[in-house]
Structure 1
Amino acid sequence: MEHFDNIDDYIADLKAKLRDNPTCGNTHYNLGVAYLSRRDFMEAEREFLDAVAHSPRMAEGYVQLGGIALQRGDLDSCLSYNIQATQQRPFFSVPWGNIGFIYMQKGDLDKAHQTLKKALKLDPDFAQAQATMSSVLIAMGEYEDADQLLKGLLEKHTHFGPAWNNKAIIEARRENWAEAATCIAKAEESGFEVPEEFKAEVQAQGGK
């Protein structure tokens, strides 16, 4: 791995490589990742599209395109790209987790649940999929199952904000207001923005 002092030098080097070999999917992909690190989504998208055009089996390229679509709020394109990723690499857990997240956003809890089960079967330690699954279980009213999942997740990832937020929701449902307040504080310490309405509800019920 060559060392570069800054991202601009790295981008320039990748562009030079593409001048010599314009059909290299990997170089297009790496350039897309470099643009993403600069939050240049349009250039990144162009490179990931080139990457999958030249290397159609590159599942990671479709996942990245899905992420950019999600950034734009385009759930349908995000879903479509992640489905394409699973068609290229059926045993790659990340797109399955993303598909579950999109179905949850769309309110299709059954499909979300099935897809997340698949993601977690492929990778039982996939933290993001575990957190999304706990959200789906909460939405389905399966609080005990959600709590069990979160317990294991938070033992391994003590600063995972979305998991603390979900734990707070469960404690609030049980009317354990002080516990809920503690979980909210931990979610916020981890950089998660807890909805103001929920915080106010917990505080009003005596959670500090």
Structure 2
Amino acid sequence: MEKAPNAEAFIDQQKNAIASNPDCGTSHYNLGVALLGQGKVEEAEKSFFTAIECSPGLAEAYVQIGGICLKRGDTDGCLDWNQRAVKAKPGFSEGWGNIGFVLLQRGDVDGAIKALEKATVFNFRFIQAFATLANAYLMKGRVKDSIAANLKALKLSPDFAIAHNNLAIAYLEDGQTDLALVHADKARQLGYDVAPQIMNELEPFRS
């Protein structure tokens, strides 16, 4: 129950900051994030647009608008706004990660790999980007690269179930069934629903 008053107080604080300095893009952006947290999507979106008008280089605002587009099912909009984000700030890993995610959903695996590789170079702790990149590598048949990307994700978060599941698939493709079993079992222990066909393929190798 404490969060609402704190959120309201934060919103009031940002509105006061905007009243005294209407051209501060950061205040408009902060207000947008707070409004988004309250589920006021359209109000938040307006704040992000204003933030960009005040501060065209505020890449975070572009990414937030891209996220709103994605929730609406508008992948074109999501891609466009994230591309604007990395144009405003070329080393913005979150923008590259989102571009990679959308391109992979669209079947542009090569484009996704390029974007996701940039995301992980600019932020070597971007765990979700490593996991998505691992999937993209697997789709291209780059099994060793997929294994390496998943292992980097697990180094950041040893209990990241998706990476354990992905490793089970990659190690199975690579003929390393012992390791595939280890990671499939670990993914299940962590509550991940490993595909039945993967478990069926691995069962004969269980000692």
- What SS does the corresponding residue of 1:7 show, helix, strand or coil? helix
Letter in 1 for 2:56: P
Task: Tell me the distance in 1 between the aligned counterparts of 2:189 and 2:88.
Answer: 39
Task: Tell me the distance in 1 between the aligned counterparts of 2:159 and 2:6.
Answer: 29
Match of 2:181 in 1: 178
- What SS does the corresponding residue of 1:17 show, helix, strand or coil? helix
Match of 2:40 in 1: 40
Q: CA deviation at 1:16?
A: 2.8
Match of 1:118 in 2: 118
Task: Tell me the distance in 1 between the aligned counterparts of 2:39 and 2:189.
Answer: 28
How many residue pairs are counted as aligned between the two chains?
198
Seq. identity, %: 36
Q: 1:200 aligns with which of 192, 196, 201?
A: 196
Retained in 1: the 8 A contact 2:23–2:54? yes
- What SS does the corresponding residue of 1:125 show, helix, strand or coil? coil
Shift in alpha-carbon separation, 1:105–1:126, aligned structure 2, 3 A? same
Q: CA deviation at 1:175?
A: 7.8
Provide TM-score, normalisation by structure 1. Answer: 0.83
Regions of 4+ moved over 6 Å? none
Task: Tell me the distance in 1 between the aligned counterparts of 2:39 and 2:186.
Answer: 31
Deviation string 1:121-179 (CA, Å, 9 cap, x unpaired) is 32333222211110100111111111122112202211323322312322444483633
Equivalent residues in 2 for 1:40-189 (5 A)?
Answer: 40-173=40-173, 174=175, 176=177, 178-188=181-191
Retained in 2: the 8 A contact 1:162–1:187? no
Where structure 1 has 5 or more consecutive residues not aligned to the other structure, the ranges are none
- What SS does the corresponding residue of 1:6 show, helix, strand or coil? helix
Shift in alpha-carbon separation, 1:126–1:181, aligned structure 2, 3 A? closer
Q: CA deviation at 1:203?
A: 4.1
Match of 2:26 in 1: 26
Q: CA deviation at 1:76?
A: 0.8
Task: Tell me the distance in 2 between the aligned counterparts of 1:17 and 1:37.
Answer: 19
**Cα RMSD after superposing both structures:** 2.4
Which stretch of structure 1 is more off in the superposition, 30-39 or 55-64? 30-39
